[in-house]
């Protein structure tokens, strides 16, 4: 069975500083990987995804994530955060053979300080 571990439950960071959110997954088959963001009192928004091809994927608002198959990781990075990036971030995985059922990590709360 697949599982997802987000190693940091909370990450405080100053505005314009870089941030990295760590995500490791456990699966014995091919996987698809996702990062979702959840702002307070809202649903989840897809931030970026890895389905195949280049292992480095980018979002339109400056986030990037790199799929590392040997380390079974999909860490999320942003070189310079804004106050508006304050939110909860969820890493999720789906197995190719299991449709698109998502298994989520426990989430990482990012608090950007001025």
Partner 1 sequence: DAGVTQSPTHLIKTRGQQVTLRCSPKSGHDTVSWYQQALGQGPQFIFQYYEEEERQRGNFPDRFSGHQFPNYSSELNVNALLLGDSALYLCASSSLLQGQYEQYFGPGTRLTVT
Tell me which residues touch partner 1 (CB under 8 A): 4, 6, 32, 34, 36, 42-46, 49, 51, 90, 92, 94, 98-107
Q: Are 25 and 6 a contacting pair, CB within 8 Å?
A: no
Tell the smallest beta-carbon distance from residue 46 to partner 1 (Å): 6
Residue closer to partner 1, measured from CB, 15 or 72: 72
Residue closer to partner 1, measured from CB, 15 or 49: 49
The Cα 103–Cα 92 span in angstroms is 5
Residue closer to partner 1, measured from CB, 29 or 114: 29
108: closest CA among 29, 26, 47? 47
Rounded (5°) CA angle 38-66-54: 115
The Cα 106–Cα 76 span in angstroms is 15
Tell the smallest beta-carbon distance from residue 78 to partner 1 (Å): 20
Tell the smallest beta-carbon distance from residue 16 to partner 1 (Å): 28
Tell the smallest beta-carbon distance from residue 31 to partner 1 (Å): 10
Residue closer to partner 1, measured from CB, 80 or 101: 101
Residue 15 C-alpha from the chain's centroid: 19
Q: The tokens 């439950």 sit on which residue?
A: 9
């Amino acid at each position: 069975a697949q599982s997802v571990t987000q190693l940091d439950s909370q990450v405080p960071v100053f505005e314009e500083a870089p941030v990295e959110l760590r995500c490791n997954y456990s699966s014995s088959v091919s996987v698809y990987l996702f990062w979702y963001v959840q702002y307070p009192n809202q649903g989840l928004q897809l931030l970026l995804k890895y389905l195949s091809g280049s292992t480095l994927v980018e979002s339109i608002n400056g986030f990037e994530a790199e799929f590392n198959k040997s380390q079974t990781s999909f860490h999320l990075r942003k070189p310079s955060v804004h106050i508006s990036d304050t939110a909860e971030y969820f890493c999720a995985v789906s197995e190719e053979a299991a449709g698109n059922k998502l298994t989520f990590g426990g989430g990482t709360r990012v608090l950007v300080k001025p």
